[in-house]
Amino acid sequence: MGRIQRLRTLFYTKQLSMRDYYTALLARIQSAPGNAFISFFDDEVATAIDYLSQQDPNRFTGFGIPLGIKDNMCLANQPVTCASKLLAGYRSPYTATAVQYMIDQGFVPVGRLNMDEFAMGSANEYSVYGPVDNPWNPDAVSGGSSGGSAAAVAAGLVPAALGSDTGGSIRQPAAFCGVVGLKPTYGRVSRYGLVAFASSLDQIGPFAQYVDDVAIMLDTLCGFDPQDATSVKRPDECFSDGFEWASLHGIRVGVPNELMTSGQADVNAAIRRTLSQMESHGAIIDYVDFKYFDEALATYYIIAPAEASSNLSRFDGVRYGYRDTSATTLKDMMAATRSTGFGDEVKRRIILGTYVLSSGYYDAFYGKAQRVRGIVTKRYADLFKQYDIICSPTAPTTAFKKGEHTNDPLAMYLSDIATIPVNLAGLPAISLPCGRDSAGMPVGMQLVAPWFQEKLLLNTAYCVEQLVGFTPLVSDDVVLGQ
């Protein structure tokens, strides 16, 4: 039983006072090192506790469960800055659908979590609030862009957190911090109220320490939303039931050769050990050439910046957020605001995106990238005719040291080579810890399933989790206030 179920039971049976628990929890979060949290919702937490204490716990899936929210998701009357100077002082007038679904089921948002600026980064070093420490080693990065979400769960500050994933921004930090992170199928979870980076790639998803906790969160997050044009109508499903009958017997697993012949030796060794365990419990393991990882990486860094260039054009200092007041004309004010308000990585991607969309280059770059995206998607479709699950390392290495790739954007981009193709195809994927390297840092395994097959994905991940028996950094008793 995961942390969410256990904590809910303690509240439900009144073995643990919700008010006392939150008093201690907020004090611990606010004094914790690591820079995972940006701000706290003290008044909102007090209001939620008062409300839940008068309700029937059976009505709520997440009765009293603390929840951290990445700083690119809107919560009414609260700041949302995307870790950028450009949104300083802005407060959202509404709540993101995914966040509201969690609140409706009794989850209690406790604060905003640090991230790479506008979700652009793989280390959580591109933040106006400073970098996030990896709880396993404060000299290492937490991963990005949802580094604050992964670090907060790994450090035991919250049992549940929300992140967003455009090219690996849930799965890669989950791998670096030794927690479970799920990117649902594109369209499965509403994006309404998520500040857009690349609209055809972005997806909200959950972080937790255990697979069954992530499944409970997905139960709550899913649902058609007419406010999101990309939201897909699907029959209701329960992802958190049936784990006791989950089995690897007969599961066909394809392993891309390209991701097992490069990268860190410790990472590959941990993946191979886990694959051997899976095989001994009935899984059918087969190594296969994916063929298009390099092409997918190049394609992503055309499509994502192009969409970012369009989406971020709204941040101009005219309507909200930061404004550079040194200029004397409207045009100069917009240019100065964007120049001084955006960080270097965001400006790099806006410039690249504007270039590939410009007259004379659109077909050569953006148009061709979209055709390659179709080839990558078809390759997955073909593989899923043979395999139930595609398995690989989540990242080529474990968490690298802070500053190691800051001046080498290409090296930073390469850390997402295993995760990016999944976003291009819109597939569901999960990262879960499967061991540690020689320095004691967590290794993440990525499992990918066919479109809308989250149930299969979670059942397989649960079986792998039981085989590996990974020990969290912070014990359950600490998180549960015991």
User: CATH fold of 3-290+376-479, please?
Assistant: Amidase signature (AS) enzymes (3.90.1300)
Which pLDDT tens digit goes with each residue over 236-247? 899 999 898 999
Contact 161, 149 (CB under 8 A): yes
At residue 326, the 3 state secondary structure works out as coil
Q: Which of 70, 183, 402, 455 is catalytic?
A: 70
Report the C-alpha gap between 236 and 214 in whole angstroms. Answer: 17
User: Across the strands, what pairs with 455?
Assistant: none
Q: Would you kindly state where each structural domain of the chain is located, as residue ranges?
A: 3-290+376-479
Q: What angle do CA 46, 49, 55 make, to 5 degrees?
A: 150
8 Å CB contact between 430 and 149: no
Closest C-alpha among 105, 146, 206, 97 to residue 457: 206
Identify whether 70 is a catalytic site residue: yes
Rounded distance between C-alpha atoms, residue 392 and residue 447, angstroms: 7
CA distance 237 to 468: 27
pLDDT of residue 1: 79
Whether the full predicted model's pTM is greater than 0.75, yes or no, is: yes
Q: Is 347 exposed, middle or buried (0-12, 13-18, 19+ CB in 10 A)?
A: middle
Helix/strand/coil (H, E, C) string of 419-478? Answer: CHHHHHHCCCEEEEEEEECCCCCEEEEEEECCCCCHHHHHHHHHHHHHHHCCCCCCCHHH
**What is d(CA 437, CA 362) in angstroms, rounded to the nearest whole number?**
43
SS3 140: strand
User: Of 122, 142, 146, 169, which residue is the catalytic one?
Assistant: 169
For the chain, list residues with pLDDT below 70.
Answer: none
Please state, in angstroms and rounded to a whole number, the distance separating the CA atoms of residues 224 and 433. Answer: 31
Q: Which residues, including other chains, have CB under 8 Å from residue 361's CB and lie 6 or more apart?
A: 355
**Backbone torsion region of residue 242, taken as left when φ is above 0, otherwise alpha when ψ lies between -120 and 50, otherwise beta:** left
Separation CA 258–CA 168 (nearest Å): 18
What's the confidence (pLDDT) of residue 122?
Answer: 95
**pLDDT for residue 363:** 85
Q: Would you say 70 and 113 are in contact if contact means Cβ atoms under 8 Å apart?
A: yes
Residues β-bridged to residue 445: 393, 432
Q: What is the pLDDT of residue 368?
A: 95
Euclidean distance between CA atoms 181 and 231, whole angstroms: 21
State the CB neighbour count (10 A cutoff) for residue 451: 18
* pLDDT for 360: 83
- The pLDDT value given to residue 409: 82
The full DSSP string for 191-257 is: -TTBPPSSTTT-EEEEEESSHHHHHHHHHHHB---TTSTT--------SSS-GGG---TT-EEEEEG
- 91 three-class SS: strand
Residue 435 and residue 206: Cα distance in Å, rounded?
Answer: 21
122 included as an active-site residue: no
Summary mean pLDDT of the chain: 96
Catalytic residue among 84, 122, 127, 145: 145
Which of the 8 DSSP states describes residue 133? E
Torsional class of 184: left (φ above 0), alpha (ψ -120 to 50), beta (otherwise): beta
With a CB cutoff of 8 Å and minimum separation 6, the contacts of 109 are: 41, 44, 45, 67, 68, 69, 75, 99, 102, 103
Look up 169 and say whether it is catalytic: yes
Dihedral sign of CA atoms 21, 115, 444, 308 in order: positive
pLDDT score for 93? 96
How many residues are listed for the chain in this entry? 482
